[in-house]
Amino acid sequence: MRPDIDAMKSLSVFLAFVLALQSGAAARVMTTSSGSDDNQAQELPQTSSLKAEVQKRGTGEKSGVRVTLRNGIQLKGHVTKIEDTFFEVTDRKGNVTHIPYAEAQKVQGPGLSKGAKIGIVAGVVVAITAIVFAVGLKSAGY
């Protein structure tokens, strides 16, 4: 009869671990952005928010950005010029790219996004919780 109890205890620990991982995955899904629509009604607010984001970063070599264009191309560099209808990004090699706001989809800083950082922290917390839970069960004789 002892093997059945050990199997049940092992199954309980495994299911608790899977449940903990699922809750962490749900937190990561909730923090990611929902993607962008190409509707005409959303282009104007998105253009103004892109313009504000570029202006917030400013110009110069310390204003590193990652720009995702509507066609999927991603550019990395720093902002060198900001105008009303476009901005320019210069990469490490010195190539200047003229980008109209209407063609840009997303402008980010050079590091990880806030959602990615939250997802990493959530994953670490879930892993630590699972380890502590498993050690506690092990020391309790399960």
Angstrom distance (rounded) from CA 122 to CA 131? 14
- Token couple for 90: 């210069």
pLDDT computed for residue 37 by the predictor: 44
In the chain, the amino acid numbered 53 is E
Segment 51-69, tens digit of pLDDT: 888 888 788 887 788 888 8
Segment 82-131, tens digit of pLDDT: 888 898 998 889 889 889 988 888 887 777 778 888 999 999 999 999 89
- Token couple for 37: 């629509």
Angstrom distance (rounded) from CA 37 to CA 70? 11
Largest CA distance in the chain: 78
- Token couple for 73: 């191309």
Place of tokens 């060198």: 80
State the distance between the two ends of the chain, measured CA to CA, in whole angstroms.
15
Q: What is the pTM of this model?
A: 0.49
- Token couple for 103: 């063609």
